[in-house]
Amino acid sequence: MCGIIGVTGTGPAVPRLIDSLKRLEYRGYDSAGVAALVDGKIERRRAPGKIRALEEVLVEQPLSSTIGIGHTRWATHGAPTRPNAHPHKAGRVAVVHNGIIENFAELKAELEAVGRVFESQTDTEVVAHMMDAALESGLEPTKALKSVLDRLTGAYALGVLIEGEDELLLGARRGSPLVVGWGEGEMYLGSDALAVGPFTQKISYLEEGDFVAIDRSGARMFDADGQAADRPIVQVSASAAMVEKGNYRHFMEKEIHEQPDSVQHTLAAYLDLAGMKAKPVESVDLAKIGRIQIIACGTAFYAGQIARYAFERLAGLPCDVEIASEFRYREPAVSKDTLAVAVSQSGETADTLASLTWCKRQGLKTAAVVNVHTSSMAREADVLWPTYAGPEIGVASTKAFTAQVAALLSLAVAAASARGRIAPEEEARLVKALFEAPRLIAETLADDSDLRDVAQELAKASDVIFLGRGQMFPLAMEGALKLKEISYIHAEGYAAGELKHGPIALVDEQTPIIALAPLDAVFEKTASNLQEVAARGGPVIMVTPIGAPSPHGTAVWRVSVPDCDPYVAPLVHAIPVQLLAYYTAVQKGTDVDQPRNLAKSVTVE
Ligand code: M6R
């Protein structure tokens, strides 16, 4: 949601803070700021907008220091203005924060009653005041921080800089991640491993409720009770090079083009190409579980919905899929033989994480299909089912989505095999089809001229409808989400058969209909639905395999994808869906990688 970085060392800290903030911009980009100790005093530079706005301020008013904290913000409390930008300062203390302090109004009232004056509308500023008051009362810094943390309700990761403490930075986490980075004579705090990736790959992950004091020589860590804690140093591969744009115009474009690799990499983790079978899943007995409950948000939810068809049809395994923000408060009735599966790119989405924790508390076995293997979900779940998409920076999820679908379709084959639902020949056929997907994705990417033409038309529309049946229904909803979030065009995804029950009233000559129509068991039904739409003047764009017939007597604009097995059609059809959104957004000139109002990782409710 927001990005945090802290540096204490001997070299110039502020360029390091800025370098890190640029890498963290994907977490939030409403405003940014840094605070550093200059001649023993806290100096801040803050600016609304992106990091480049902050850089401009620093050119005018440079900061020279060996210690500082930085923040890039996705606004929750208070508009994205300079006064609301972090770091917030009170007396001797500057604070950066990711998360929400739920009881801030009550705390603020208490602080105002004793004469403290606030300069922002944020929840964070109370922490700066409370910390300053605790120091004023004579507590040493870690004790002061503990006394503050004891009064906070909500989710947070915090970084704290204190006047008079020339080498010291404090950090704390509850609900939002925070890492400690270990350098040579330099130490770091970061909201994730990528934050400190340019400086070190040696990381300690703070645990829930932990707080920490770092200085040039190391870290002292404490658990939620204030007892000394030892969190191991792990080596991570947050290679800085992996998050460059290369020759692409946007991260989203680069990530779309990485999908032959990311899908292949993910499939290889779950399928045995030599044996033409699914690798056995040892951590969960897929033959014994009675039900799968998938919980996810946004694009990951649609990946889960696609997987439902596979788990039910292929493996005969009942599968429910629910949006995590609903699931977590619904008090669902769950049976003990249910396997709860959280699906998430970041592994930090607050609602998905809370749902996972809730399932665990009910005594369910839990698994997490996540792309960030060191994330909170990866660590919380009993079983980690990783995807191998690599770092995804574009806010619009693309390669993480197909990696989720690839992993889940592979796991469905494993489940079908473990449950005796498919013969070895059928298992081999499905594994072969899955392993063909990376090549088919590459072929789809290689010829996108039709899509560029279609995007020119979509860019003129105010409303777009996506249609699909079966696994293409969730993909239609994913297509609509992708178009909405980066081009700001209103779009909806419908089950093709449902159109005539209401939405067909929206169809007119100005409303493009994008039909996802693989050559599967329901192809003819989808084709009939397109005739109904075309008869009402709707311009129809049919994304369909080269070998598929056009609906009889109906003018459609065809976008061809390679012929493929229907089982892997979601992976192949996902490419035109993503590229249509991408080219339309480029045509409209929107901020593709950082669309308005969004953030990459939603760690608040
Ligand atoms: O990190 P997660 O996969 O848990 O994120 C879930 C959603 O926030 C995410 O998929 C969101 O919908 C994307 N912006 C879609 O492109």
Residue 218 CB-half CA count within 13 A: 6
What pLDDT, on the 0 to 100 scale, is given for residue 80?
84
What pLDDT, on the 0 to 100 scale, is given for residue 532?
79
Q: Does 344 contact ligand 1 (Cβ within 6 A)?
A: yes
User: For the residues 154-165, what does the mean pLDDT come to?
Assistant: 93
Q: How far is the CA of 442 from the centre of ligand 1 (A)?
A: 24
Give the confidence band of 239 by pLDDT, cuts at 50, 70, 90: low
Residue 231 sits in the same domain as residue 89: yes
The mean pLDDT value of the chain amounts to 91
Q: How far is the CA of 117 from the centre of ligand 1 (A)?
A: 38
What pLDDT, on the 0 to 100 scale, is given for residue 52?
92
Backbone angles phi, psi at 314, to 5 degrees: -80, -45
Residue 343 within a domain: yes
Q: Which of 42-46, 98-102, 165-169, 517-521 has the least mean pLDDT? A: 98-102
Q: Which residue has the tokens 């017939």?
A: 549
Q: How far is the CA of 372 from the centre of ligand 1 (A)?
A: 13
pLDDT tens for each residue of 529-545: 888 777 777 788 999 99
As to burial, measured by CB atoms within 10 angstroms (0-12 exposed, 13-18 middle, 19+ buried), residue 2 is: buried
User: For the residues 277-289, what does the mean pLDDT come to?
Assistant: 93
Q: Of 244, 262, 280, which closes a domain?
A: 244
37 strand-pairing partners? 42
Backbone angles phi, psi at 493, to 5 degrees: -110, 130
By most ligand atoms within 8 Å of CB, the mutation choice from 251, 374, 397 for ligand 1 is 397
Backbone angles phi, psi at 592, to 5 degrees: -60, -50
By most ligand atoms within 8 Å of CB, the mutation choice from 256, 297, 402 for ligand 1 is 297
User: In this predicted model, which residue has the larger pLDDT, 520 or 95?
Assistant: 95
Residue 423 sits in the same domain as residue 484: no
pLDDT tens for each residue of 457-472: 999 999 999 999 999 9
Q: How far is the CA of 522 from the centre of ligand 1 (A)?
A: 29
Nearest Cα residue to 206 out of 226, 184, 189: 189
Q: Does 601 contact ligand 1 (Cβ within 6 A)?
A: yes
Residue 169 sits in the same domain as residue 76: yes
Q: Are 387 and 571 in contact (CB under 8 A)?
A: no
State the CATH number of the domain containing residue 120.
3.60.20.10
Cα angle 152-171-126, degrees, rounded to a multiple of 5: 35
Give the confidence band of 456 by pLDDT, cuts at 50, 70, 90: very high
Q: Classify the C-alpha dihedral 340-346-347-353 as positive or negative.
A: negative
By most ligand atoms within 8 Å of CB, the mutation choice from 346, 355, 485, 577 for ligand 1 is 346
Q: Does 262 contact ligand 1 (Cβ within 6 A)?
A: no
What number does the ligand 1 atom closest to the CA of 352 have?
4
By most ligand atoms within 8 Å of CB, the mutation choice from 602, 603, 604 for ligand 1 is 602
Residue 259 sits in the same domain as residue 403: yes
340 strand-pairing partners? 293, 366
Cis amide leading into 62 (omega within 30): no
Q: Which residue has the tokens 């996108």?
A: 448
Residue 380 sits in the same domain as residue 504: no
Residue 264 within a domain: yes
What pLDDT, on the 0 to 100 scale, is given for residue 240?
43
- HEC profile for 237-250? CCCHHHHCCCCCCC
From edge to edge, which strands make up the β-sheet containing 187-190? 41-48, 31-38, 67-73, 3-8, 187-190, 179-182, 202-205, 234-235
What pLDDT, on the 0 to 100 scale, is given for residue 604?
64
DSSP 379-429: HHSSEEEE-------SSS--HHHHHHHHHHHHHHHHHHHHTT-S-HHHHHH
Give the confidence band of 551 by pLDDT, cuts at 50, 70, 90: confident
pLDDT tens for each residue of 395-406: 999 999 999 999
Q: Of 439, 469, 495, which closes a domain?
A: 439
Residue 194 sits in the same domain as residue 212: yes
In angstroms, the CA 259 to CA 171 distance is: 37
Residue 209 sits in the same domain as residue 69: yes
In angstroms, the CA 130 to CA 42 distance is: 17
Backbone angles phi, psi at 157, to 5 degrees: -125, 135
Between β-strands 67-73 and 3-8, what pairing exists: parallel, antiparallel or unpaired? antiparallel
Q: Are 336 and 364 in contact (CB under 8 A)?
A: yes
User: For the residues 490-497, what does the mean pLDDT come to?
Assistant: 92
What number does the ligand 1 atom closest to the CA of 346 have?
1
Answer yes or no: is pLDDT of 238 > 60. Answer: no
Q: Which residue has the tokens 């070299």?
A: 11
Residue 249 within a domain: no
Q: Does 325 contact ligand 1 (Cβ within 6 A)?
A: no
Nearest Cα residue to 12 out of 71, 72, 58, 60: 58
What pLDDT, on the 0 to 100 scale, is given for residue 198?
85
Residue 343 is encoded by which pair of tokens? 């699906």
User: For the residues 285-291, what does the mean pLDDT come to?
Assistant: 95
User: For the residues 127-154, what does the mean pLDDT come to?
Assistant: 97
Residue 354 sits in the same domain as residue 213: no
Residue 602 within a domain: no
Residue 599 within a domain: no
Q: How far is the CA of 223 from the centre of ligand 1 (A)?
A: 31
Q: How far is the CA of 602 from the centre of ligand 1 (A)?
A: 8
Q: How far is the CA of 537 from the centre of ligand 1 (A)?
A: 35
Answer yes or no: is pLDDT of 595 > 90. Answer: no
Residue 554 within a domain: yes
Residue 3 is encoded by which pair of tokens? 């990005």
Task: Please state the domain count of the chain.
Answer: 3
Give the DSSP H or E segment for 269: helix 259-270
Q: Are 299 and 397 in contact (CB under 8 A)?
A: yes
For 130, the 3-state DSSP assignment is helix
Residue 46 sits in the same domain as residue 71: yes
Per the structure, the complete domain to which residue 354 belongs is given by 254-439
Sequence-distant (6+) residues with CB within 8 A of 589 are none
Catalytic residues: 2, 600
Residue 7 within a domain: yes
Q: DSSP secondary-structure letter at 175?
A: B
For 331, the 3-state DSSP assignment is coil
As to burial, measured by CB atoms within 10 angstroms (0-12 exposed, 13-18 middle, 19+ buried), residue 397 is: buried
What pLDDT, on the 0 to 100 scale, is given for residue 245?
67
Q: Are 590 and 252 in contact (CB under 8 A)?
A: no
Residue 426 sits in the same domain as residue 506: no
What pLDDT, on the 0 to 100 scale, is given for residue 192?
83
Residue 522 within a domain: yes
User: For the residues 127-146, what does the mean pLDDT come to?
Assistant: 98
For the chain, the C-alpha Rg in angstroms (whole number) is 25
Give the confidence band of 241 by pLDDT, cuts at 50, 70, 90: very low
User: In this predicted model, which residue has the larger pLDDT, 223 or 236?
Assistant: 223
Q: Of 197, 218, 244, which closes a domain?
A: 244
Q: Which residue's CA is minimally distant from atom 4 of ligand 1?
A: 344
Q: Does 346 contact ligand 1 (Cβ within 6 A)?
A: yes
Residue 369 sits in the same domain as residue 469: no
State the CATH number of the domain containing residue 342.
3.40.50.10490
Residue 260 sits in the same domain as residue 238: no
Q: Does 354 contact ligand 1 (Cβ within 6 A)?
A: no
